């Protein structure tokens, strides 16, 4: 009798579990299909992104922008695509839109110093210099940052716009400590020193900018600055 009851119980369990196992199998297959579809979309997004890069390298901005946006529709959480679109928007003089792309990228990846730096540039182009400086400083907190001299230089420029020559001098000197041949930083230091009334030191900085790389546009700017300071340039 007990054996019959046990057999009946097992039969009932089999009957109950059967549909559940089928459902579980279907869900597993559905999950695999969804994952496969996602992988296909990401591959399509990558191909579209590479097409965007080709278009942009050939100065076909409209096609490049369209391809970047299409890539983001296929893979909306791709940090690289948001950053690339932000850089294109910066070059098109659309810093507000660029800021939105960089901020989205930062929300997705809070460990990238380059994203913070790019955000700073977008803010500076909106004359939001205090916010830009904060972004540059944030970038400089990352030990993985490979071009900190650029952030220091941009920070110096922002301080000049804010009329803070001492802070600007400090920033440009920090850039030059990392990259002594950075012509733009020598020129920026000259501007900061001149703004602070230290004309003799400003002349020395401008001469450095002039002589380091005569082909640099900052060399020509330095020559003009020297003339304004009563130097022959």
Residue 126 CA: distances (Å) to CA of 10, 14, 122, 129, 131: 73, 69, 7, 8, 10
Q: Give the span between the Cα atoms of 83 and 102, in whole angstroms.
A: 6
Q: H or E element: which one contains 39?
A: helix 2-57
Q: Would you identify the CATH topology of the domain 147-233?
A: 1.25.40
Degrees, nearest 5: CA angle 149-103-69? 110
Alpha carbon 27 to its chain's center: 39
> Which pLDDT belongs to residue 10?
46
Per domain, the residue ranges of the chain are 147-233
* Residue-wise pLDDT tens digits, 81-138: 999 999 999 999 999 999 999 999 999 999 999 999 999 999 999 999 999 999 999 9
* Residue-wise pLDDT tens digits, 19-41: 655 556 555 656 656 567 778 78
Q: Give the span between the Cα atoms of 182 and 101, in whole angstroms.
A: 29
Q: Name the pTM for this structure.
A: 0.81
């Amino acid at each position: 009798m007990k054996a019959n009851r046990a057999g009946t119980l097992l039969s009932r369990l089999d009957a109950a579990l059967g549909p559940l196992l089928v459902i579980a199998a279907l869900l597993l297959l559905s999950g695999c299909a969804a994952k496969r579809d996602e992988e296909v979309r990401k591959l399509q997004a990558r191909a579209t992104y590479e097409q965007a890069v080709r278009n942009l390298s050939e100065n076909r901005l409209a096609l490049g922008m369209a391809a970047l946006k299409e890539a983001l529709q296929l893979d909306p959480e791709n940090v690289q695509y948001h950053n690339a679109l932000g850089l294109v928007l910066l070059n098109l003089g659309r810093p507000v839109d660029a800021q939105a792309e960089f901020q989205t990228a930062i929300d997705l990846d809070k460990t990238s110093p380059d994203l913070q730096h790019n955000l700073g540039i977008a803010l500076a182009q909106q004359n939001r210099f205090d916010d830009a400086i904060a972004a540059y400083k944030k970038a400089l907190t990352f030990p993985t940052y490979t071009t900190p001299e650029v952030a220091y230089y941009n920070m110096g420029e922002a301080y000049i716009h804010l009329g803070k020559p001492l802070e600007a001098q400090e920033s440009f000197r920090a850039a030059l400590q990392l990259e002594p041949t950075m012509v733009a930083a020598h020129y920026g230091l000259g501007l900061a020193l001149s703004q602070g009334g230290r004309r003799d030191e400003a002349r020395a900085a401008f001469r450095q900018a002039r002589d380091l790389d005569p082909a640099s546009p900052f060399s020509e700017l330095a020559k003009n600055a020297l003339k304004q300071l009563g130097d022959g340039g």
